[in-house]
Amino acid sequence: MKGIAYYSSPVGELQIESEHEKITVLGFLRDEKREEIRTAIIDQCIAELEEYFYLGRKFFSFEMDLIGTEFQVKVWNELLNIPYGKTISYEALAIRVGDIKSIRAVGLANGQNPVAIVVPCHRVIGKNGDLVGYGGGMDKKIWLLQHEGAIQEQLSLF
């Protein structure tokens, strides 16, 4: 059974989709909402997102079905190995997937991640530490990294 639901998070409205009791999409709402079809796995996903945003959850346990090319799935699975509160560079991610020359391909796969936040593409940054690229917008990437303690909030004195 296919499911769809929405979740209002601190980083915006999220759309969650499931199929065969696995989460297939968790992304920032871009289109109009459709009628919700709640499933048990979507309810579990929403409960875990609540815990992540408000109660300090660092790991997600619901099942996902990451649908993409073999290379994309390899990149997305490697993203799951980046610890909460840590970041890595695109170059380091390319090395982890087996080819330093695949930096651009890794970046493209990262940007096509179908399960945002949970598959932590927001934890990938530029080689020099710059916060570059995030499909949901840089404000959301910064919020998520600050939330996880990977970067400190900059205070402005003026």
What phi and psi, each to the nearest 5 degrees, are found at residue 125?
-130, 175
CA dist 156 and 73 (Å) reads 40
Which tokens sit at 92? 């380091």
Pick the catalytic residue from 121, 124, 125, 144: 121
CA dist 33 and 36 (Å) reads 8
Q: What is the DSSP string of 106-145?
A: HHHHHHT-SBTTTS-GGGEE-TTS-----TT-HHHHHHHH
Contact 76, 45 (CB under 8 A): no
What DSSP designation does 24 have? E
The reply to whether 121 belongs to the active site is yes
The residues assigned a catalytic role are 121
